[in-house]
Amino acid sequence: MPQYFKIGKFAASYGLHGELVLQHSLGKKTTLKGLETIFIEQTTDNFLPYFIEKTSIKSDTETYIKLEGIDTKEIARKLTPKEAWLEEVDFKKFAAKAAPIALLGFSMIDGDTNLGEIIEVIEQPHQILCSILYKGKEALLPVHEANLIKLDKKNKKVYVELPEGLLEIYG
């Protein structure tokens, strides 16, 4: 079963013919050239593919996107503000290596303890929050220059030193 990564959301409709504005956190300007399919999660872990007709750059974090079968602004509006997802292969192609979103799928390590896989990255002005499943619950853990020990891209591991007691609120 393919793994999916959330890259952003459809922020708005644009124009009269069903174009959308994709707000993404891929870490670089992109037209998503060569990408054929983008996914929307219908229900938990059930992703519906949408085929891409054309794209163009709006800004560093936004791309205009026209999807097959979405031909009016009314239909396009129904897709806002839904989240946009890519399959792992495409995600690796389009995410900037230095972008925080590239941490998806990495293991978070505190000391000698593997806390779990990073399933979501939330960018904030002074830190990044990484969502992991810790003891069956979602835990939001901060990553910033004061607690990041090492980033091992080769082995897909993020080493952190979390504040004492932080994990206990999730235990």
pLDDT at 159 over 90: yes
At the top level of CATH, the class of 101-163 is mainly beta
Distance CA 55, CA 21 (A): 10
List Cβ neighbours of 69 (8 Å cut-off, separation of 6 or more). 50, 51
Task: Give the pLDDT confidence score for residue 119 in this predicted structure.
Answer: 93
Average pLDDT, the chain: 93
Q: Which pLDDT band, with edges at 50, 70 and 90, does 125 fall under?
A: confident
Task: Give the pLDDT confidence score for residue 157 in this predicted structure.
Answer: 96
* Tokens 């303890």 belong to residue: 113
pLDDT at 170 over 90: no
How is the chain split into domains, by residue range? 4-96, 101-163
Start-to-end C-alpha separation, the chain? 30
Task: Give the pLDDT confidence score for residue 2 in this predicted structure.
Answer: 80
Please write the tens of the pLDDT for every residue from 137-156. Answer: 899 999 988 899 999 999 99
Distance CA 114, CA 151 (A): 14
Task: Give the pLDDT confidence score for residue 124 in this predicted structure.
Answer: 86
Task: Give the pLDDT confidence score for residue 98 in this predicted structure.
Answer: 86
Task: Give the pLDDT confidence score for residue 20 in this predicted structure.
Answer: 97
Task: Supply φ then ψ for residue 150, to 5 degrees.
Answer: -160, 145
Task: Give the pLDDT confidence score for residue 45 in this predicted structure.
Answer: 82
Task: Give the pLDDT confidence score for residue 151 in this predicted structure.
Answer: 92
Same fold, 4-96 and 101-163: no
Please write the tens of the pLDDT for every residue from 85-110. Answer: 999 999 989 999 889 999 999 999 99
The answer regarding whether domain 4-96 maps to CATH 2.40.30.60 reads yes
- Given a contact cutoff of 8 angstroms between Cβ atoms, the answer to whether 147 and 137 are in contact is no
Distance CA 146, CA 161 (A): 9
